[in-house]
Structure 1
């Protein structure tokens, strides 16, 4: 069975590839694609595999955009952090999914479902992807969305309600939890900003902060803002004059 993985987090893609190979010796990972742009170009030049495993949110858009741009006659199993309620549309349209963090048992069940329903996947799948994209595009992240962090030899899941802020220190991105623990991340603040808005806001170049972590915002000379968190943090946080109004608008809406 030839499988293509579409996933922008390299350690998640590598873990998925290894887990799939453990599920069956007949599985071949044909390619690992990391963006909408890369996948669109690949499928424009190469034949479709037997099956695709794909994340939904990629760094440059939603994976459904790939299916809209090129005709892909292959079923997709989505590996995603969206919660089950949000994904009812996939079940209604016959598209399988597994939630991050996934286990080999979940992968085996998904592969078994694909095998048993293979004949049903023939024909044009564009309508299914279009309906799924409409549903997901209307969603905004909630507290149950999961961020995956590679820690030593493990993948740790953190729901957004457990994360106080992300920050950059010595050119390294750090996830800081409400419980005071911190973890180094591979993603940039730009990537995390897209995934966590509007629950988090990039209040300056170094910090992407959860609304739940903000205890107080006060005026600070000259026309800046000083942000106080409701947890201990080793740095003072300031908002520039240029971002002042945007931050206040975000706080008023959230």
Structure 2
């Protein structure tokens, strides 16, 4: 499998290369490009099987690439902004990963890509319309509760009672508004897909927070945002400057 990365942030591009090498060692990264112009020239000459693409590039939005060259393969969009999701899915997006992305996020993107590949193998004459229908199918209803196990007992926690989800010692936990903590088997990436995106926001790699749990916010060093919740968190909740715009957009979208 040949993969192209279109990303103008060096650290993000390097992280993607490392994760791809780990998750898909058989894959070959045939190029890493940081601008619309370079990407167009490269895609005129090569036909990758999958593209990882940032949306905000140094010379504009990457959607311009689709106007200049025909892209026939699925695209995984990796970006710090969530307002372009519909445009991404219209542009052959197989997944939409918000930065800062994690290993679980990229693994989930590969899982979706593999599902599409199986779909194509079962269809003699696959058409773009069939692909778009599979990608853009209505989202399942948000999860209303989580099954947990503690003290040799199973119980369910209503999602509305959860202040935040977090990772500690590589294990996913939830914290309720009455300060009860439970372990979960799902990854944070899986939880982000299951809960209401209007009610919950993934502030970083370690935390997903409930809108109802937000107490106050303030500016922090290096243009970060410090978020304080009504239920104390083990670490400070910091949102980097790249993600702050989508965070405030989420806050206003109610």
Structure-2-length-normalised TM-score:
0.48
Normalised TM-score (structure 1): 0.48
